[in-house]
Structure formats: structure tokens, C-alpha cells
Structure 1
């Protein structure tokens, strides 16, 4: 579960959301949980987008600030909240300065709490894009001093956080604070996320292939054997983060557009975020067999059908079982060609007929099997052979 709390301007317009990982204790987080939060935000599969086009404020540890998972984020939309070091020496503050400077140079914005106004953090203050002032800790006279100091010595926008009353809002606004966060405006709203968790062995294999600079075809084969990998990659590549001018519906396209470096970062982040609790393995296996069967039949007998579309159609026809969502809702989460959507949702067109045939093979519905075979003008022996091939191919992939 992810919680988000809006950050608003003086007109109560939302400018961004701070994200919290509610899988952990409130306000408790580690480098690993930071990665999980970012991955879930990127690959979110709920009924609405987590943040839309607003700014994303993400709490970080100093360890996660140097993490390579940040390469996947759109820096112009991300504000990294940097924690203070506690009772620390100036040498420790200066030691972390190069990392913070590098993040700003890459385009990330940095937010600090009011500790950055202390003399010990003088080296960090010029890097502050946002400074959060906690109204549950600061008395009115302290707030006044800090706002004036920040205005004179930094270019940061000030955010009054934990605003819980009209009086607090009025005071901060009168002092010149322009951004606000707190219960007075909105409590954090918890959003249930639906993610497909791939098998860890498949993620490891993907990482290995990428490190070895394997061919796109070899990487595509790994994606084809795990619906979770395929779904999450298409979600990522079509997210607002990448700003694609057209929807990407092919695994090969997704791999080429993402590139080896970012694909490695994504797979490593996915490995960190993966956990128990996904759909039963049999569902994913059935989806892969269905996709492979449809691909083989389309390749051999229906040359006018894109075989990639046939595979995607078969695999994603079981998204409702894998995500625990109604099929139309699940299909709306990823871009697919119109022919695939028509086939999966309405069993329309040649792909729809192929899907009916694949389902008949699974259920051993002889009447439906024969009717679909005749409609597609496919030989029964060839269908049986393709089904056996699909099952053998899927078993082989599982052993890799």
C-alpha cells in the first residue's frame, strides 16, 4: 500500500504529492523500502495514477540517494527529501556534499527540513529547492525567525508541513510561506496497488543477460516466459516518466527503447521490490502456454496476423486472474493494439477466434474446439501438435 499526501499552494491547488510506503511502520524507511516505493510508483497498476503529472516528493535515506535506481526516475518531476544527519560534525556534512551536488546537476530537486538552516548545514543550504518547516515542532516566534533567515540566505521555496488548523495556515501564509501540507488540507490517502510479482529466478536471468549484453531476442524470450516481467515493463515504458509519443505494445520495442543500462537498473530494482504474495504460479504458466500456442498457430497458419500480437493476446487474456481486477480494468492499465483488446475483451476478430480455440484446448471443450478449428481452417492434428509444443516450450523456459 502507498499513501500520498498533497502539497498545495496558497490557492489550494495541488502542486505535488509526498509518497509514503505503508507496508512499513509510518515514517520508518530504509534504502530497500525507498526502492520499493519508487518501483511501485513507476509501475503502479491501480484504478488511478498515483501522482499524474504532479511533483513526486520521496523520503530518502543517505544510502538510497546514491542508488542506481534513481536513473529510472524523471528528475524534473522528482523532489528527493534529504534527511538530516543528527548530531554530526561539519566533515560528515561536507562528505555528502558531492552526492547532493550531483543529484542537482542531474535535474533532481532537493528538499530539506528546517535543520538545513542550522550553521552545521551551511554547505547544503545553497542546494535547497524546498525547505520544510514542521509546525508541530516550531513555535510561532521560531517559525518567524526561520522564514526570515531562509528568505535572506536561500532561494528555496518554503513548505509549511503538519498544518492542522486555520490559525497555523494563516500565520505561515502571512510570513510568506507559499506551499502547505497537513491535515488541515488533506490526510494521507492510502492507495491499494496491484503489481505482478515475477519469479525471482526470472529476474536474475534477465539481469544476467543484460550484463552479458545478450541479444534483444534472448531478452525477449525471458519476458515471454513471465507475465509479471512483461506486464511491469510495458507499464514502465508507457508511463508518464518516459513521455513516449506513441504507445509501446511490443516487448522488443520496449527493450530497445529502454536500453541496456536502464533495463539493468529496472531489473535490479524489481529484484529488490519482489516479494511473496503474487498469483499462484499455475496462472502465470497457463498464460504463457496460451500465448505461445496462439503465437505458433498465428505464425504457421494465419500469416496476416502479427505473431507478437498473438502472444500478447494470449498472455494478457489472464490479467484479471493475475491482478485480481475485472478484465476491462486490468486491460486498461497497459496499451495494447485494438485487435488485441477486441480479442481479449470481446473475443472478436481472428485473434479472438484463436483465443477461443486456446481456451477450448485448456478446457477440453470438444464442440467449441471443433467449431473454432473450422472457423480458422486449422488442421486438428496441427493444433494438437502446437499445444504440445507450447507446453514443452513453457516447461523448458521454467527450467532455464
Structure 2
């Protein structure tokens, strides 16, 4: 239903998912059970696997970085190799790679596991492996030859110079990479700034991924420092801070009208009062009638009045449609689309948590809680100011404004999943009576579902350039 709603408000005709959905790349080879079953006999899952969004220069999410807390801890080569196989096995078991029809994946892998790649069942063209070195690893001719062979077969790699340094062998490694990683949270990153200024000039074909951008200064460094044109992907908390866009003033009256109609719907206002608001905004009225008469609703005759539209849709469906309209007002704004995507993921994840407990109405309200959790950022106002016109049920308002009440814990769990807060995830899972594996599955389902909604509505990012 929600995909139909979004397609309708964007003027798209819904088609069967099988016809519109992209097909993930075929795996290169299926690994036999003997290849990796033995090391995984004792443990079959890593629990929650975080997937951090990576944005392009337009601030659109185009990739995810798959991370497990503690994956860079000191281990023997054999132990690390087992851990890597367990990570890849967990990603397969969770069916993570279906996400790669819409996004690309950066997956951390130790140098010790390069020999295992050819036997893994992975979507080769959609994955970039971030290589990590351990004590005892040698960047020798054998390893470089192995990388050359894998690259010729289509595998792609990334490396973080702060971990490998500037020796001749490290420079030979960088020459074989597709991406270099600058992690602003790494303790020795700033000491390497002189090297980082030289690398873009020396390896002009490489693109850069900037991780953990947590301030305007760090973002400015990526945008204006020497070689900044090579920065292609960005990650960090600062990117989640809404910045006023140039189109906001143009869209603000429309958003205000939408909020007023939503308030009237919540207050049980008469159809005449709601109709009067639609008549004050010709574009909004056009979008409503276009959606009501779209083929997805299968009407035998054309609806031409607002009153009939309200009767046909029902107040709940109209309210949800208007909620989505708020987030698609700035569909050409990458930052606004990122907020929309994150809101869809939160809403769907929380809704599915509610459905696990068998309460459909509660699940519906949980969806709205997730959707409206970023409304203040979207409207460039405080959350209280953004929500005030809506007169939401107390369960939703308490969670969004005061972090308390019935829906506070599901929202906290959604936020913990975004932030990869393992301690919070574990405690909140217990409170919600779900396992880490179930939460990973539900959260991944929400991520994929959001991509399907956006893709089928022609609101999507260009991932082919990653």
C-alpha cells in the first residue's frame, strides 16, 4: 500500500514488483559446504551486523559499509580468517546481498582471507572489500600478485593509508585499490595529512571514501583540500545534520498547507473544512486527484471532487499519503531524500516490531512515529514546532518529544541500529523480546523495503558510479 501511495503522489503508475525491481548481480561461484562449514560449526551468526550509509557528493545514499564491532581486534591469522568467513556467512544467511540491487557494499576483510574470496558466493560487481592488515602480514610480491589476479577477475578493493603507511610496498598496494579511506576518527590520521595531500596526485585514478565526518571543518577539508575532487563517498554524523536548502522557501507554503490538512484529519474536522484547505493550493489539489484516479486504485469512473476523494481513501490513508508528501516536496534535494529514506527505514522497522506482537493499530502508530522522527530536520525547525500542527496521539508525541511512553523503546532501538550502539541494541532487544539476529533481519528488511519504495517511485540514487 505504501509503495502505491508514494507512487501516486509522484505521479507514477504502480507495476508488479517483478517487472520493476532490479535484479542483483549473479554470484561468481557458489562455495561448497566443505569450503567454509568447518570453522562455523560452533557459531552460526555474528548477531547484529551494522550497515552504515555512505553518501555521494549530492548527499544521496548510494552504498553501505558493513561493520561488526570488534572486527579489527587483535587475532591470529587463522582466527581472523574464520571470523571473515563467519561475517560473509552471516551476510548471506541474512540475505543482505538483496540490498545490492539498489546499493553497493563496502565489506571489511583481512589480507589473510584473500585466498578465500574466489570460493565465496558473493555479488562480485556490487562489493568493494576494505582490506585490513594484521601483525605478521607482509605486503610482498605474492600478495600483490594475488590482488592482481582477483582484480582481473572483477573484484574491487579499498585500503586505509593510516593503517598501511607510506612505504614502497604500501604505495604498490594503493596502486591496486579502487578506493582509499580517510577515517577522521583514526588516531593517526592527522599525522598523515602530508601523505594524504600527495596520494591524490600520485594515484589520480583513485577515489576516496571519507569516514566519520563529525564536523563542518572535516567536511570542508574533503571539499576544499588539495585533491578534494577525488572524494566520492562520505560517512559521518555531521551529514545527518539538516542544512537549510535553497528550495525550502519555495516549498514551505505547500508543506504548511499539508500540515494544516493533517491537523484537521487528526481533529476529525468535517470534509468541507478539509476541502477548503485543498482549494487554497491548486498544486496540492492536483496531486490528490491524480493519485485518487491513478490506475493503482482501479476506479470505474473518474473522481473529480475532494469530498469523494476523502470518502474513497479514508482519513487514515489520506493522512499517510500526506505524510509522504511532506518528505517528497524536495525530491531533487539529496539531503532531503536522505532524510526521507532514513524515515522510511525507521517507520518500517518499528512497524514490523509492532506486528510481531500482533497489534495492527499499534504497528500503524509505530510506523508514523518512525516517519515523523525526522520531521523537524526536514522542515528546518524544532521537532516540537514541526509536530505541533498535527495533534498526534499521545503515544506518538510522548516518544518523539519526551522519549518516553509505549513507543519510546522501539524508537530507541531503531536509533541504536543506525548508530551501531551494540550495548543499547542488546538491552533494547531484551526489552522488546527479540533476538539480535531477528533485529538484524527486521532492520535489513526495512532498508530493502525503503529502497523498493523509492526505486519503484523513480526516487533513487545513481549507484552505478560507485
What range is the shorter-chain TM-score in? 0.3 to 0.5
TM-score with structure 2 setting the length:
0.36
TM-score with structure 1 setting the length:
0.41
The structure with the largest alpha-carbon Rg is 1
